[in-house]
Structure 1
């Protein structure tokens, strides 16, 4: 998709405008969901347990406490939540490091971030991953592309609660109802919708069901700034 200055100008004149774009990280902007699953399989294999493939859809997109807690309960592994969380985070970073200098971006992610930056529309990175993981990914995504970032271990409640997206909107000084959110999991979508944001779902590992006011696309290649602005016009 492509946008034009004239089209953007028309959309800006049609009611309340889009104030910011809030973006999930893993599976939405960076192709790392496979690394998380690999880390989970490796860590639990070393603990003597094999993970079932169907569990992947359960743990994808959630906060570390929920995902790791589910796997501990499902496997009956003799390990604490804090310890296994440290192991999973460390193994994930190792997996990403093996990719080389640049973590692969999801199709259309680089173009979309560049377009938001070019047009001066604030963007926030809102992730359930821990801060050190988010900071590592910013090396590939570009620090300058984001006005603020929110990590999962910085909040008392993370996705699917609305807190991450409400926090990002507050840090940007914008109305969450005038923010567009891009998410790849049902957990993230639930968080953004609970915050009152307009959601564009880009499913990665697991499908996301249609719902009123929710837009589902196949990839970020279908999303540009004009598209996001038009969603706000329709929503109001």
Structure 2
């Protein structure tokens, strides 16, 4: 049974901790009608990236005030779509939280979503906010696949990126994690194993979902077991 010993886990959110697919597709259908886009194509191509970047690129919105307003409108559509926690999320977080005083610095969330949408989506799914806070698109100048988000996540926990584990579903986030110097696990919740292998993201491990992972504290480090890698 393969295992890793790390100081902290940096989780992506959409597609890793929560399934927001119905709401995202609903939002892109609305925006596709407004901006003359192919909803399915754009939804696939933009997965894992910041709305700030994708709306600017695909909807050609360059006015800053309008762009920010459209981000809010898009994310409200996603929330109305009813995000849900993905399998294995609550049990894995419970195992991390069993570490007593180590638990707070043991995990955080690094998401391409905004600081408005993120707490709403987590609350809807019954997932607690990380004790030491999280990293959203509002906290970094460059989004995934740039390594800045995961480097910021490691700093928030006071951890060396090389001692952090990134868990992601999207190629852009997997690339960001590797570029940040972290060990990276891909979950096949939004892409097939074949698609992930062909994406060039090069994760260290690929698993079906978070039910494949378990964690326990060994002193002040986390052992993450990967039985089905």
TM-score by length of 1: 0.77
From 9, 25, 46, give the equivalent of 1:21: 9
Helix, strand or coil at the partner of 1:205: coil
Tell me the residue number matched to 1:168: 153
1:64 to partner: Cα distance: 1.3
Higher-Rg member (1/2):
1
Could you tell me how far apart the structure 2 residues matched to 1:141 and 1:162 are? 25
Tell me the residue number matched to 2:70: 87
5+ residue gaps in structure 1? 1-6, 74-78
Tell me the residue number matched to 1:219: 209
Q: How many residues align?
A: 208
Helix, strand or coil at the partner of 2:108: strand
Larger strand share, 1 or 2? 2
Question: Which range moves more in the overlay, 87-96 or 22-31?
Answer: 87-96
Could you tell me how far apart the structure 2 residues matched to 1:167 and 1:196 are? 12
Larger helix share, 1 or 2? 1
Residue by residue over 1:121-152, the C-alpha shift from the partner in whole angstroms, topping out at 9 and shown as x without a partner, is: 41111001111111212323112x44320001
Tell me the residue number matched to 1:63: 50
Tell me the residue number matched to 1:178: 163
Contact 1:158 1:164 in 2 (8 A): yes
5+ residue gaps in structure 2? 217-221
Tell me the residue number matched to 1:117: 97
Question: Which range moves more in the overlay, 122-131 or 205-214?
Answer: 205-214
Helix, strand or coil at the partner of 1:56: helix
TM-score by length of 2: 0.79
Tell me the residue number matched to 2:219: none
